[in-house]
Amino acid sequence: MTRLFDGFVALEMVVLGILEISLCFLVFYILLLPGDVVAAAHGPLGLHAETASHAAILSLTIGVISMTIGMYRPEICLQTRRLLVNSVVAGVLAFPAILALSVVTDLDPSFILGEDALWPMKILLSWILLLFITRLCFRVVLRSGLVSRRVLIVGSQAQAADTEAAIRSMRRGFFSLSGVLEPAEAAGLTPEALRRRRIWGVIVTHDALPARAALDQALGQDRRLRLFDDVTFREKQLRRLDLARLAPGWLDGPGLACPGRAAETLRRGADIAISLALLGATLPVIAVAALLVWCTSPGPILYRQVRVGQHGRHFTLFKFRSMYIDAEAMGPAWAARHDPRVTPWGRVMRRSRIDELPQLLNVLRGEMSLVGPRPERPHFVAQLNSAIPFHEDRTRVKPGITGWAQVNYPYGASVEDARQKLSYDLYYVKHRNLLLDLTILMATVRVILFQEGAR
């Protein structure tokens, strides 16, 4: 079971979630417990059944919302300002979510509103304090090194530098470097010696791969010790590919995610269902946005632009027009942070991603998916394909409205930004599955809510 959490899921954050939801349940149960409860009304565990069910709904709802807005990312615990802001947002969002849930499930919303006008404020403050305090405590645990995984690097100092930098840049508090051993020095490593040093895993660099067979044989009998090559370790922990280490034909090699026909059919069905639901839910927003585009600047409401899709095929992408009609009279250009070509209302749409709502039509037409690499313009694709190796490999899958690069890297406006985003896009191409798609869709809510990377 522990190998499930080697890198793709942070076991510590799963434990934090379970403890936090349990604590929320206990606090909400105490707050909601009627004062005149009689023993006969208690359930088998000595709990008042109705109060327990209400407390469970409250705690589970805030847990789901916290996960959606990124409260269970390890790095959020290390940034006090973001932690406080996100805690407040999670509490504020959970309150109307509970009211909506009570309507859908025919529950009496008075269990959260209560008869006292101060009840909503008590519940709201309790949520925020629980979220903030539990993560402050978790930060203390992270900085104390109690949950830190000690790793040992086998290889030359020069080759180990990238992995050392990756461990330091993670800022997760989950890994600490025990040291770097030359391949000759690692010949005598034994499980007993590593356990005495409290080593969690051994990372072998590229120039020390000949020593990996001996290490694998020496450590293979101990399931508590992990053995990685440096590229795989960074890929798992940073969630992106090392472009410098990719070999030609890597897409046809072992380890590539190849969803079957059933998974693709399910993904297509989900694309259609979610797109129709979003179009229906956002119809008033679409109508207002279209009216404001028409009123605030002359020109068409919808902007049609040729983009490069799956396998290099071109298609017409739809967006709400956010620029003046003569914005590209001098030719295509990267978007700037304070782009003078963008209209005032267009800037609002870009920050809230409203301008991308018409792309749901592209999803329904089968040209795009909800999740995938962002489609680029042919002009830029030609530049990037010649400047960045493996750039055209991102077209192996359908482009998407949102993607792994979009939720992990800010808006790119240069060749170097495109290179960094490509490392995330190719990670998605390699590990693409429905669970990763769901993770991206949930992270997109956070990106839109906090306007991360908007331009």
Q: What is the pLDDT confidence band of residue 40, given thresholds at 50, 70 and 90?
A: very low
Pairwise CA distance, residues 86 & 326, whole Å:
40
Positive or negative: CA dihedral 360, 361, 364, 369: negative
Please list the residues that pair with 352 across neighbouring strands: none
**CATH number attached to the domain at 149-238:** 3.40.50.10700
User: Which tokens is 138 given?
Assistant: 């978790």
Phi-psi group of 364: left, alpha or beta (phi > 0 → left; psi -120 to 50 → alpha; rest → beta): alpha
Q: What's at 102, amino acid-wise?
A: S
Using an 8 Å Cβ cutoff, are 399 and 368 in contact? yes
**What pLDDT, on a 0 to 100 scale, did the predictor assign at position 294?**
93
Predicted local confidence at residue 38, as pLDDT? 47
Spatial distance between the Cα atoms of 367 and 364, rounded to a whole number of angstroms: 8
How far is Cα 414 from Cα 170, in angstroms, rounded to an integer? 24
* Nearest to 392, CA basis, from 418, 371, 414, 366: 418
Q: What letter represents residue 330's amino acid?
A: M
Q: Could you give the angle at the alpha carbon of 212 between the alpha carbons of 206 and 214, nearest 5°?
A: 155
* 25 pLDDT above the threshold of 70: yes
* pLDDT, position 281: 92
End-to-end CA distance of the chain: 42
Write phi, then psi, for 176 (nearest 5 degrees).
-140, 145
Instruction: Please tell me which residue, 11 or 141, carries the higher pLDDT value.
Output: 141
CB 381 within 8 A of CB 311: no
> Which residues make beta-bridge pairs with 228?
203
455's CB contacts (< 8 A; 6+ apart) are: 335, 336, 337, 339, 350, 411, 413
Question: What's the distance, CA 204 to chain centroid?
Answer: 28
Q: Is the pLDDT of residue 78 over 50?
A: yes
Residues 333-371: pLDDT tens digits?
566 666 778 888 988 998 888 999 999 999 999 999 999
**Domain map (residue ranges) of the chain:** 2-144, 149-238, 263-449
Q: What is the mean pLDDT of the chain?
A: 81
The secondary structure of 154-171 as a DSSP string is ES-HHHHHHHHHHHHHT-
At 254, which amino acid appears? P
Longest dimension (CA), the chain: 79
What pTM does this model have?
Answer: 0.83
Percent of the chain at pLDDT exceeding 90: 25
What is the distance, to the nearest Å, from the Cα of residue 246 to the centroid of all Cα atoms in its chain?
A: 24
Length of the chain: 455
pLDDT at residue 426 greater than cutoff 70: yes
> Is residue 79 over pLDDT 60?
yes
pLDDT higher than 50, residue 152: yes
Mean pLDDT of all residues in 96-115: 65
For residues 170 and 236, the answer to whether their CB atoms sit within 8 Å is no
| CA separation for the pair 242, 252 (Å, rounded) | 17
Confidence of residue 328 (pLDDT cuts 50, 70, 90): low
Residue 273: its pLDDT value, please?
95
For the record, the structure tokens of 383 come out as: 């530049």
Tokens read off for 80: 């006090």
Nearest to 304 by CA among 313, 316, 314, 293: 316
Where is pLDDT greater, at 396 or 331? 396
Whether the predicted pLDDT of 81 surpasses 60: yes
Task: Give the pLDDT band (50/70/90) at residue 275.
Answer: very high
The strand pair at 314-320 and 302-308 is best described as: antiparallel
Per-residue pLDDT band for 44 (boundaries 50, 70, 90) equals low
C-alpha torsion 316→322→326→327, nearest 10: -100
**What is the identity of the amino acid at 430?**
K
Collapsing DSSP to helix, strand or coil, 7 comes out as coil
291-316 pLDDT per residue, tens: 999 998 888 999 999 999 999 999 99
Per-residue pLDDT of 196-251, as tens digits, reads 888 888 888 887 777 777 777 777 666 678 888 888 888 888 888 988 888 888 88
What does the pLDDT read at residue 289? 94
Using a 10 angstrom Cβ sphere, with 0-12 exposed, 13-18 middle and 19 or more buried, the burial of residue 402 is buried
pLDDT in the model for residue 122: 73
- Which pLDDT score, from 0 to 100, does residue 309 have? 95
What is the average pLDDT across 91-106?
71
Neighbours of 305 (CB within 10 A): 13
Q: What is the pLDDT of residue 214?
A: 74
Residue pair 390/426 in contact (Cβ under 8 Å)? The answer is yes
Instruction: Tell me: pLDDT of 398 over 70.
Output: yes
Q: Return the SS3 of 288.
A: helix
Contact in structure between 334 and 343 (CB atoms under 8 Å): no
Dist CA 376 CA 317 (whole Å): 10
**6, pLDDT greater than 70:** no
Q: DSSP labels for 389-442?
A: TTGGGGGGS--EEE-HHHHHSPPP-SHHHHHHHHHHHHHHHHH--HHHHHHHHH
> Which DSSP symbol is given to 388?
S
